[in-house]
Structure 1
Amino acid sequence: MAINLPHIEDAENTIYLPPKGDYETFVDDSHYEEKVREWGLSTTKEVKKEFWYKESTHQRLVTIKGYEVYGAATEHNTVIIEFQDGNLSCIHPAYLKEMQSPSFGKAIASDTEVKSSSSRVQKAKKSSSKPAAVQKKSVEKKEKTKKLDLPEEKVHFTASVKQFGLSWNNFKEENDEVVILENVVVDQENPIEVGLAWCSHSKTLKKFELVPGETLEFDGKIVKKKLPKAKDAEEEFVVDVPVLYKINNPSKLKKS
């Protein structure tokens, strides 16, 4: 049963949490679709462009402009949404996903609960920082072993296909297909040897019919994001080595 909230722009009663400084934007439509599916915000063949932002007295249409990254391994995201009046606000992707449910209105019975949406973002950031503090010594040891100064812009890579695997997606609560790359090098004036990295085995990549052992070159953006371990995966799709870096939206791919 749909909730009986008026479908209006109600800016005066909306609590905004604007981003503090710069945030990540989408490289192109494919990157947008990859992230929205990763957050579990769209399961249809054509990825949604608009979403409902709901409060106790009203609901408003919003679009996703980008996202922030945080956590010890930058594995967590906060979504940046834009309202129809141009205002920006931060929201946890899991909470935005809850808002898309027709039954969501039953869960927001008071203004106090509405204000808790702001604390969800802050609590998520704090909870992600606590384990990092507890395990500070072990993290420092790993960082001393290999600490890379990663480029923020899109760059050119060379790499080879190591294997195909599965990775657990908390938002969709299922495994995603991934490609594990080895001998990954950022091809620039001063090359950066990354070693292992992973990326989503998207429909675009599947068209290339990749095979383990093949050497590739492509463009993309690299971030420090550890590969989440798969759940209940067949042995051949289990990745048994730590992979700490992710390549987002590889494009202009060529087989060497």
Structure 2
Amino acid sequence: MVIEHEQLERSGLTRYVLPKGDFEGFRDDEHYREKLKEWGLSSAKEAKREFLFKERNYQRVVTIKGYETYGKSDEFNTLVIEFQDGNLSCINPAFLKEMQASSFGRESMLQVEEKDFSTPELGSEGSESQAEAKTSELKQVPKSEPKKPKATKPKKEQEPKIELPADKVHFTASVKQFALTYNPFNEENDEVVVLENVQILQEPPLELGLAWCSHSKTLKKFELAPGDQLEFDGKVAKKKLAKGKDVEEEFIVDTPVLYKVNNPSKIVKNG
């Protein structure tokens, strides 16, 4: 009865952020494990099922029921968690990851305490003399000479802005190379496929040049190699490919890749 009473009290203290409507669930255990690894919440073979939701003076056990997607190409996620009393709430994956650390919440409290004790209150003894000392210091600072105006460089001509389609479209592209990119959620390098000669088939066709996508299990089945010609459906978003950490040169792209293809499907390998 005591545990139930505490749980009820904590439920009243928690501020819930309800899902906007229907949210994505997990297809199976494998899909659940893949998403946890992507969010940096668990990379073990036996995927973690329970997580801690922490506030300043209490913590609760939650499970992940699914996720919402947002962004132009649905490339970002918000988790939908369920508390033991059945309440649902949304939370950022990185924030839930921070909550799992034993030191969560302590650092910010220490910073507040240091600030409170190190800053003299207005009207307190010694504050007036400190202010006078500060004023005298400012008076002793030599005046700096006026800065000469910098020569203005001629502005570079801006490249025309590309309007990316919001819906799923059909692509043609060729495989340029494989690369590694750093994933801050799981703090590991993820393997990606870099595509070149990327074109969206529409009227008129839209040339993107270079793009990248995750080297997913679906793509690995095609045993891709540099030079392979591909056709596929997918969504595209402006998202620069980040370099991997401490990787060999062959896994680094020497040219900026500004676009990411999300969820490629109906893939056809032509060569």
Do both share a fold (TM > 0.5)? yes
Which secondary structure state, in structure 1, belongs to the residue aligned with residue 176 of structure 2? strand
- Contact preservation (8 Å) 2:81, 2:91: no
CA-to-partner distance for each residue in 1:160-212, whole Å, 9 max, x for gaps? Answer: 10111111122222221111001112223443221111011122211110011
2:229 counterpart of 1:232: no
Q: Which amino acid aligns with 2:201?
A: D
2:68 corresponding residue in structure 1: 66
Is there any run of 5+ residues in structure 1 with no aligned partner, and where? Answer: 114-139
CA-to-partner distance for each residue in 1:27-49, whole Å, 9 max, x for gaps? Answer: 97798766543321231347667
**Which entry has the higher C-alpha Rg, 1 or 2?**
2
1:181 corresponding residue in structure 2: 195
2:135 corresponding residue in structure 1: none
Is there any run of 5+ residues in structure 2 with no aligned partner, and where? Answer: 110-154
Count the aligned residue pairs. 215
Structure 2 distance, partners of 1:26, 1:244, is 30
Q: Which amino acid aligns with 1:58?
A: Q
Mark the CA change 1:108 to 1:233 in structure 2 (over 3 Å): closer, same or farther.
Answer: closer
CA-to-partner distance for each residue in 1:108-143, whole Å, 9 max, x for gaps? Answer: 469x96xxxxxxxxxxxxxxxxxxxxxxxxxx979x
Mark the CA change 1:98 to 1:194 in structure 2 (over 3 Å): closer, same or farther.
Answer: same
Deviation, 1:154, is 2.2
Deviation, 1:226, is 0.5
Deviation, 1:7, is 10
Matched ranges for 1:1-256 at <5 A:
8=7, 10-17=10-17, 36-45=36-45, 51-55=51-55, 56-63=57-64, 64-69=66-71, 77=76, 79-83=78-82, 85=86, 87-91=88-92, 93-101=93-101, 104=102, 107-108=104-105, 144-256=158-270
Mark the CA change 1:32 to 1:215 in structure 2 (over 3 Å): closer, same or farther.
Answer: farther
Mark the CA change 1:176 to 1:147 in structure 2 (over 3 Å): closer, same or farther.
Answer: same
Percent identity over the alignment?
50
Cα RMSD, aligned residues only: 4.0
More contact order relative to length (CA 8 Å, sep ≥ 6): 1
Mark the CA change 1:224 to 1:62 in structure 2 (over 3 Å): closer, same or farther.
Answer: farther
Q: Which amino acid aligns with 1:65?
A: Y
Mark the CA change 1:219 to 1:77 in structure 2 (over 3 Å): closer, same or farther.
Answer: closer
Structure 2 distance, partners of 1:107, 1:97, is 10
Which secondary structure state, in structure 2, belongs to the residue aligned with residue 159 of structure 1? strand
Q: Which amino acid aligns with 1:107?
A: F
Structure 2 distance, partners of 1:32, 1:151, is 29
After TM superposition, the score normalised by the length of structure 1 is 0.67
After TM superposition, the score normalised by the length of structure 2 is 0.63
- Contact preservation (8 Å) 1:50, 1:62: yes
Which deviates more from structure 2 when the two are superposed, residues 10-19 or residues 198-207? 10-19
Deviation, 1:214, is 0.8
Which deviates more from structure 2 when the two are superposed, residues 208-217 or residues 45-54? 45-54
1:135 corresponding residue in structure 2: none
